[in-house]
Each structure stands twice: as structure tokens, then as C-alpha cells.
């Protein structure tokens, strides 16, 4: 999860560099300036009470590391503007992946077939509705209850697939204790059957319903997540800066006491 979050942040930075070179270079310039400013202030602010003190070489190395981290934090902070765009792209990649995932399709279909048969609501004709694994396998979905059941089963399976293949992104837009709400599927069925020449309501619509739900949740959740992430980045930036500032300040204070 943490590795995926870091990869996601790095992807935001790479995206800015690839798609907005001028903006990226400006961000880097500001980040370098900010890192240099922090380095300068860390080594000079002790002049406020100890004019004779100069930071040691080891402390300058620490300041340099802090400056580099500051550059990275600044670029990451700005690059989060592309978080939603990248998340949409990842959702699109997942949607294409799951639609071409034969194992997922076969496993989900077999699960739906067996459960629908056990329910006893549909009439299975042995001459037409061959079991899973048969080249001409099919199952009856004449009743609305069956259509709702199968679509929800498929949508929930798609949600589980998404959580398995995109754990970080799924945590952002779909909390772990939620599934695909039945009313979402019911509304999709109403819309589908209200369309002229609608044809058959297939089980793979459950995957499309799940993908559509992810898209809607992404629009709602991404701004909140970006804002929260930027607060964490700012906090980390301040904590990193406290290390050289604190050590240099303490060293200057000891130097002042030893010469008093």
C-alpha cells in the first residue's frame, strides 16, 4: 500500500515533467530556491544570539540533505495537481484489463451460473443452458430479480478485483467496508430497459456499473485526498527542517555557553 502510494506520487511528478515542461522547470527552480533559502537560514539564524558561531562541516552536510528533501517535497506538492488525471487514467487501464481478463470472466460467470441455478427462480433447459466450461454455456436471466442478483454479483466481484489490483486507489475512492449499492444497479436496469431496442441485459454490465461508480467516487474523493496529502507533505517538510535548525541552534547555544 505504501509503495503504491509512493509510486503514485512519483507518477504525478513524472506526469508534470512530461506534459508541462515549462511549468515543471519553474517548479524545480522554485524548489531549488526554497531549498537554498532553508539551507541559508539554518546556518545563519543563530547570528541572532551568537555572532561568532559558524556551522560545522557535518551540519552543512545535514543542511544539504535537508535542502534536497525540500526540493522533492516542493515538486511533489505542486505535482499533486495531476492526481485526478492520473487516477482517471488508472481507472481506464483497470476497466480495459478486467474486460479482457478471461479468468475473471469465467470465474465470475461460473459463480453466477451456479448460484442462479440453486435459487430456482429461472428455468434451466438442459438442451440450451449448458454448464460453465461448455463452449455454448449460457444461463437464463428472464426475471428482474435474477438480473439484479447477477449484476450485483458481477459488480461486487469487479470491486474485489479493483481492490486487489489497485489497493491504494481503491482505498481512496472505495472504503473497504462498502460494496456496490443495489439501488445503483436497479437504476441502471431501469435506464437500460427504458431505451428502445435495448436487447438483453447481460451480466457484464455489472463491471461497467462498478467502473462508473468508481469514476463518480473519484470526482468526490480526490480533492479531499489531495488536500490531506498536501497537509502531510507540509508537515513532513517542517519536521525535516526542524532537524538541521534544531541541531545548529543547539550547537550555537553550546558554543555560546562555553565562551561565556
How confident is the model at residue 197, as a pLDDT? 67
DSSP state of 48: G
Dihedral angle computed from the Cα positions of residues 243, 247, 250 and 255, in that order, rounded to the nearest 10 degrees: -160
Q: What is the pLDDT of residues 76-135, one digit of tens each?
A: 898 888 888 888 999 999 999 998 999 998 999 999 999 999 998 889 998 888 999 888
On whether the CB atoms of residues 12 and 80 are closer than 8 A, the answer is: yes
Q: What is the pLDDT of residues 157-174, one digit of tens each?
A: 999 999 899 888 888 887
* Residues ≥6 apart with Cβ < 8 Å to 32: 71
Alpha-carbon gap, residue 6 to 20, rounded angstroms: 21
pTM summary value: 0.76
Grid cell for residue 5: 502510494
How confident is the model at residue 114, as a pLDDT? 93
* Residues ≥6 apart with Cβ < 8 Å to 55: 42, 43, 46, 63, 248, 251
Helical spans, DSSP H, in the chain: 2-19, 21-44, 57-79, 83-99, 102-119, 144-165, 167-173, 182-193, 205-258
Helix axis angle for 83-99 and 144-165, nearest 10°, is: 120
151 CB-contact burial (10 Å; exposed 0-12 / middle 13-18 / buried 19+)? buried
Alpha-carbon gap, residue 105 to 247, rounded angstroms: 59
Cα radius of gyration (the chain): 28
* Residues ≥6 apart with Cβ < 8 Å to 239: none
On whether the CB atoms of residues 179 and 156 are closer than 8 A, the answer is: yes
How confident is the model at residue 176, as a pLDDT? 66
Amino acid at each position: 500500500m505504501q509503495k503504491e502510494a509512493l509510486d503514485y506520487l512519483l507518477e504525478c511528478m513524472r506526469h508534470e515533467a512530461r506534459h508541462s515542461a515549462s511549468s515543471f522547470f519553474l517548479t524545480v527552480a522554485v524548489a531549488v530556491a526554497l531549498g537554498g533559502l532553508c539551507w541559508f537560514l539554518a546556518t545563519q539564524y543563530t547570528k541572532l544570539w551568537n555572532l561568532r558561531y559558524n556551522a560545522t562541516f557535518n551540519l552543512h552536510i545535514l543542511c544539504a540533505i535537508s535542502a534536497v528533501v525540500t526540493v522533492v517535497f516542493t515538486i511533489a506538492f505542486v505535482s499533486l495537481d495531476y492526481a485526478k488525471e492520473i487516477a482517471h487514467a488508472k481507472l481506464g487501464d483497470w476497466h480495459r484489463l478486467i474486460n479482457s481478463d478471461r479468468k475473471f470472466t469465467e470465474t465470475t460467470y461460473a459463480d453466477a451460473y451456479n448460484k442462479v441455478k440453486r435459487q430456482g427462480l429461472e428455468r434451466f433447459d438442459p438442451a440450451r443452458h449448458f454448464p460453465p466450461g461448455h463452449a455454448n454455456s449460457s444461463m437464463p436471466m428472464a426475471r428482474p430479480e435474477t438480473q439484479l442478483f447477477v449484476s450485483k454479483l458481477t459488480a461486487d466481484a469487479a470491486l474485489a478485483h479493483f481492490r486487489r489490483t489497485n489497493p491504494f486507489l481503491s482505498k481512496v475512492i472505495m472504503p473497504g467496508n462498502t460494496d456496490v449499492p443495489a439501488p445503483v444497479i436497479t437504476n441502471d436496469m431501469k435506464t437500460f430497459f427504458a431505451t428502445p431496442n435495448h436487447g438483453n441485459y447481460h451480466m457484464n454490465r455489472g463491471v461497467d456499473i462498478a467502473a462508473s461508480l468508481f469514476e463518480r467516487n473519484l470526482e468526490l474523493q480526490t480533492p479531499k485526498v489531495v488536500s490531506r496529502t498536501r497537509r502531510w507533505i507540509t508537515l513532513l517538510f517542517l519536521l525535516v527542517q526542524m532537524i538541521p535548525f534544531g541541531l545548529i541552534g543547539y550547537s550555537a547555544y553550546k558554543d555560546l555557553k562555553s565562551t561565556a
